[in-house]
Amino acid sequence: MTRWITITFLGTAAGTPTRNRSLPSILVSDARRNILLDCGEGAQHRLIQSGLSVCRVDIVLITHLHGDHVFGLPGLISSMALLGRTRDLIIVGPPGLRDMLSSSVKFLGSLPFKTFIIEVDPKESIMKIIEDSELEIYCTEARHNITDIAYLLQWRVPLGKFRPECAQRLNVPTRYWKALHVGEKVVLENGKVISPEDVVELRRCGPFRIVYTGDTSPCESVIELARGADVLIHEATFSAEEDPACIWPQGHSRTIDAAEVARRAGVRILILTHLSARYEGMEDKLLQEARSVFRNTYIANDLDKYYIEIYP
Amino acid sequence: MTRWITITFLGTAAGTPTRNRSLPSILVSDARRNILLDCGEGAQHRLIQSGLSVCRVDIVLITHLHGDHVFGLPGLISSMALLGRTRDLIIVGPPGLRDMLSSSVKFLGSLPFKTFIIEVDPKESIMKIIEDSELEIYCTEARHNITDIAYLLQWRVPLGKFRPECAQRLNVPTRYWKALHVGEKVVLENGKVISPEDVVELRRCGPFRIVYTGDTSPCESVIELARGADVLIHEATFSAEEDPACIWPQGHSRTIDAAEVARRAGVRILILTHLSARYEGMEDKLLQEARSVFRNTYIANDLDKYYIEIYP
C-alpha cells in the first residue's frame, strides 16, 4: 500500500513562462502511479529534469484547454512513442480535448500504445471519474472563463493503529480488518455494524486527499471538493493588491482568495502555483499575503518536490 | 547596416529532450531581425532564458513537421497573443504546416496580430523565399523521411575597405558606391561595367551566409546550398560508430557525415546540433570524430551564443 506521495511541481508559471518558471504541470506520484496534473509546454523536459522517464506517466488530468495548460501534450505523446511506450495512456479533460489533440497527434503516425481520452463536464457537481483498489479521482467544475475542471485525488489509507484485540473482542472476522483499517464501516453476518473507530486508534478521520484547481476564481464548488483535504494546490495568479472586480471575472484568484478558500475548506496545507510573471522575485511578499489568511501556505517553484507521508 | 549576427541555440536535442538539451530551435539575430529556425517544444522558454521577449521574433522557419521541431509553435503564438503583440508574424515551412497549426491556434481565439503561413516545397532546387534590402532567405530540400527544408540566410555585407579614390578615378557616381561595396557589379551610363574589386580592397568574396539543415542524411542539395557559407549548422544525430546503412535511410547524419558535407561545401565554420540523447556527456568524443574530417567544428549546447562579426 502506498505510504508516501511525492508532488513535483514541473511548471508554476501563468500564461507565459518566465526565466525560472515553466508552464503549468504537476506530477503526483505514489508507489504505483504517476499522475500528471495539466501538461503545459515543457512538461516533458521538466519531467526528465526531475528524474522521471516520460514513459512512466500513467494518467494525465487536464483542467482546461488554454494553451499554457495543454500544449505540452502532443510533445509528451510524441516522446512516449519515440521511446517505445506500449502501455495505455489515460488522458482526462474537458470537452474539446479530443479535437484539440487529434490534429497534432495525426502527425505522429500510428502510436505504439493506446490513448484513452476521457472528456468530462461536471457542471459544479462532484463526479467520480476513476477508481481502483486504492485511489479514487473526483472532479468538479471550477470558475474560469472557459470550462475548468478541479480534480480531487483520494487515497484510501489506514486511519491509525489497528487494534486486533478490539476486533477479536467484537468477533470481527479478519477478512474485514483491512476495510475497517482504511475507514470503511462493515456489516457482520449477524447484522452488527462495526465502525473504524471501534477497532482503530484513529489518527486520521478519512482518506488522504489532494485537490488541484487549475485556473479559477474563488468558488464554492472548489471549497466543497477540497473540504478537509490534506493538500490544496490552488492557483494564485495575482497579488492581494489587485482589484478582485478585475481578477475574478477573468476566472483567476489572488493569493488571499486562495488562502480564504483553504481556510474555509479546512485543508491541511495550501500550495500556491500559477504565479503571474509580474511577480518574478516577489514570492516572499505573495507568501506573506496568503499566510495572513491561512498560515500553512507554501509557494511552489519549478522542480520543488513535496514528500508527504500519507498515513501515520 | 547589420555588423554582428548572434546565433543562439535554444534547443539542441534530437527527438526527445534530455536533462540539459531542449528540443530543436535556433535564434538568429541581426541588428534588425530575430529569426527562429525551427520551434521545438520549449523554444519560448529558452527564448526568455536567453533574454529575448517572444514578441521580438519576426520570422519562423520550420524545416519539417516532426513534433520535436514544431510543437513549440502553438505556445509561442499563444504567448505573443497574451503579451499583446500586434506586428505580423511570418512562418515558413513545408506543406501541411497550416493544417497542423490551425487546430491549436483556433483554441487561442482571435489573435491581436496576423500570422502569414507560407508553405514551400522546393524539391531539391534552390528557391528564394524572402528578400529585403539586406537579407535574402533561400531554401532547398534536404533528405529526411518526410519533407525537410534546409534554409540559407544571406546578408549583403561590405566585401572589404571601400577605396573612394579608385571610384573617383573610374568616374563612378557616389550613388553606385554602396552597391559596389556589398558586391554588386554596376553598369554606368556610358556602358562601362564596374566590378566590386575595382573599388573595394576585397576581404570577402561574397555575402555572409548561414545554412541550417534540419534533419537530413548527407546530401548534394545541402552541399550546394552551403557552398562557401560562413556557418553551416548541420544535424549530427549519431556518432561515427553507427552504421550509415541504418542511419542514412532514416534521414539522419553521423558527426563525420556532417563534417564531410562541411568539407565538400567549403564552409568556414560547422556547428553540430540535434544530438541523440544516447550521447549525453559524450560530446567531446563526437567533436573529435567530426574534427578528424573538418577541423573548424563546434558542438552546440543549449543557450550557447555565437557572436559573429559578419564583415571585416
**Residues A259, A272: one domain?**
yes
The residue ranges of chain B whose pLDDT is under 70 are 107-108
Which residue type sits at A41? E
Residue A54 in contact with partner chain B when CB distance is under 8 A: yes
Encode burial over B181-190: b for 16+ CB neighbours within 10 A, e otherwise.
bbbeebeeee
User: B74-124: per-residue pLDDT in tens?
Assistant: 999 999 999 999 999 999 999 999 988 887 777 667 889 999 999 999 987
pLDDT of residue A107: 66
Contact A226, A267 (CB under 8 A): yes
pLDDT of residue B107: 66
**Residues B186, B256: one domain?**
no
For A137-187, give the secondary structure using H, E and C. EEEEECCCCCCCEEEEEEECCCCEEECHHHHHHCCCCHHHHHHHHCCCCEE
Of A141, A170, A201, the one marking the end of a domain is A201
Contact A121, A95 (CB under 8 A): yes
Residue from B10, B16, B65, B276 to probe the interface with A (highest A Cβ count within 10 Å): B16
pLDDT of residue B99: 87
Encode burial over A259-268: b for 16+ CB neighbours within 10 A, e otherwise.
bbbbbbbebe
Q: What residues in B contact A71, CB-CB < 8 Å?
A: 41, 71, 74-75, 78, 104
The residues of B annotated with a catalytic role in the active site are 68
Are B75 and A41 in contact (CB < 8 Å)? Answer: yes
**Residues B172, B280: one domain?**
no
Residue from B44, B45, B49, B53 to probe the interface with A (highest A Cβ count within 10 Å): B45
- In this complex, the residue of A19, A65, A108 whose CB is nearest that of residue B67 is A108
Is A284 tagged catalytic?
Answer: no
Residue B194: which domain range? 160-201
Backbone angles phi, psi at B68, to 5 degrees: -65, -15
Nine-digit cell string for B288:
573529435
CA dist., res. A195 & res. A205, Å (int): 12
Which residue type sits at A275? L
**Residues B211, B250: one domain?**
yes
CA dist., res. A253 & res. A259, Å (int): 10
- ipTM of the complex model: 0.89
Q: What residues in A contact B54, CB-CB < 8 Å?
A: 16
Q: Report the DSSP pairing between strands B135-141 and B149-155.
A: antiparallel
The residue ranges of chain A whose pLDDT is under 70 are 107-108
Which residues are within 8 A (CB) of A51 and not within 5 positions of it... i.e. 6 or more apart?
Answer: none
Of B135, B169, B201, the one marking the end of a domain is B201
CA dist., res. B37 & res. B137, Å (int): 12
- In this complex, the residue of B16, B102, B108 whose CB is nearest that of residue A67 is B108
Q: What SS3 class is residue B284?
A: helix
CA dist., res. B3 & res. A298, Å (int): 49
Number of domains in chain B: 2
What's this model's pTM, rounded to 2 decimal places?
0.92
Contact A58, A40 (CB under 8 A): no
Encode burial over A205-214: b for 16+ CB neighbours within 10 A, e otherwise.
ebbbbbbbbb
Q: What residues in A contact B111, CB-CB < 8 Å?
A: none
As beta bridge partners, residue B118 has: B92
Residue A94 in contact with partner chain B when CB distance is under 8 A: no
**Residues B211, B197: one domain?**
no
Q: How far is CA A31 from CA A1, A91, A137, A305, in A?
A: 8, 20, 16, 15
pLDDT of residue B70: 96
**Residues B42, B75: one domain?**
yes
**Residues B111, B98: one domain?**
yes
**Residues B173, B190: one domain?**
yes
**Residues A136, A191: one domain?**
no
Are A45 and B22 in contact (CB < 8 Å)? Answer: yes
Residue A13 CB neighbour total at 10 angstroms: 26
Contact A280, A263 (CB under 8 A): no
Residue A77 CB neighbour total at 10 angstroms: 26
DSSP assignments along B213-261, one per residue = --S--S-HHHHHHTTT-SEEEEE--B-TTS-HHHHGGGT--BHHHHHHH
**Residues B71, B138: one domain?**
yes
Q: What residues in A contact B103, CB-CB < 8 Å?
A: 99-100, 102-104
Residue B41 in contact with partner chain A when CB distance is under 8 A: yes
**Residues B117, B139: one domain?**
yes
Residue B208 CB neighbour total at 10 angstroms: 22
Which residue type sits at B130? I
Chain B residue at shortest CA distance from A69: B75
- In this complex, the residue of A48, A66, A67 whose CB is nearest that of residue B17 is A48
Residue B93 in contact with partner chain A when CB distance is under 8 A: no
User: B256-278: per-residue pLDDT in tens?
Assistant: 999 999 999 999 999 999 999 99
Which residue do the cell numbers 570524430 mark?
B289
- The residue from A68, A215, A257, A302 that is catalytic is A68
Among candidate residues B156, B230, B132, the one with its CA nearest the CA of residue B3: B156
**Residues A230, A270: one domain?**
yes
pLDDT of residue A16: 96
Which residues are within 8 A (CB) of A118 and not within 5 positions of it... i.e. 6 or more apart?
Answer: A90, A91, A92, A93, A129
Q: How far is the alpha carbon of B259 from chain A, nearest alpha carbon, in Å?
A: 27
How long is chain B?
312
Contact B260, B218 (CB under 8 A): yes
Q: What residues in A contact B237, CB-CB < 8 Å?
A: none
Q: What SS3 class is residue B294?
A: coil
pLDDT of residue B174: 95
User: What's the half-sphere exposure (Cβ side, CA atoms, 13 Å) at B236?
Assistant: 33
Q: What is the CATH number of the domain that holds B81?
A: 3.60.15.10
